[in-house]
Structure formats: structure tokens, C-alpha cells
Amino acid sequence: MNESMKTILERRSIRQYKPEHVSSEELDYILQAGVYAPTSSNHQDTKFVIVRKPELLAKISRMNAAVNGAAGDPFYGAPDLIIVFADSNLPNWKQDGALAMGNMMNMAKAQGIGSCWINRAYEVFETEEGRALAREWGLPESYKGVGNMILGYPDCEDPKPSERKPDRFYFAE
């Protein structure tokens, strides 16, 4: 089987992580996969904020939980986080950011690294506290959160794939 297809078929959301950070080399490959994701009209408008500092990661996790009205760690103790932002002045900013997230999650899997898309990046970075962080990182006001990608070395067996729903193809002839 083609290695790319094998990665796609085997990638699952991981929710248990070892405390070690992903190596710099592996992280570089993941980020490169995000940078090379297709973008509408080749705008290349996505930006990536890498969070490895435990105190900052815990703060963003608390902000995410607050938006969701929940307690606990929505980042599942992952040691690393990539937040994807895109320029909301462009018509397809959400799609561009989503493609980057998908590329990065597949690259993570290809290297044996676990990942999971965590929602609410948009909502977190629309709060005053979130906007302040975005300004601190140098992001323009028009850049909005698309998604949070937690990652790290899995501390669990890969989840088994669920059955896929049948009848999802429609051929227009």
C-alpha cells in the first residue's frame, strides 16, 4: 500500500501523551507540511503559533475550557501545541487554515507523533485575553484562530478506526 494512503487510513486523534516534547526536527517537518498546504489563490495566509512553554500552554488550555464552559484540560496533557491563524480578510481563510491542520496531522502521524484537532481557537482568540496574546505574538488584528493542534508522543495504543458510513459517494454522470 502507498505510504501516504497508509498514513491517512491509520491517523487517529490521540488523547494521551507522554510528557516529552516533540523533537525540533520532527516539529520542523510538521510545520513544513502546514506551510505547504494548498491555499486559495496561493495567498499563503496561514500563520502558526507554536506553544511549548508549559505555563503558556496551561493558560491557553484554561481559556479553551472556559469558552466551552467546562473544567479539565481540553488539551489532554499534550506537551506541544500549534495554533493555526489565518487572515479573515480573505474569503477562504477558514478553509486555508483547515487544510494546513490536516496536512500537519498527517505528517505527525507519518512520524509516529500523536495529534488531535481541538476546536474553539476562534472563540478563545476573540476574547480580550486572547486578542492580547495574539498582539503579543505580533499577529495582525485580521488574523483569526482556525484550530488548535495538540501533539506529542502517544502514551496509548492507537485507537481502532470506526466503521465508515456507507453510501457516501454520488457519481454525477
Question: CB of 125 within 8 A of CB of 131?
Answer: yes
CA distance 37 to 155: 28
Architecture of the domain made up of 15-152: 3-Layer(aba) Sandwich (3.40)
Question: CB of 154 within 8 A of CB of 76?
Answer: no
pTM across the whole model = 0.95
Which residues of the chain register pLDDT less than 70?
none
Domain boundaries, the chain: 15-152
CA distance 54 to 50: 12
Q: Which pLDDT does position 71 carry in this prediction?
A: 87
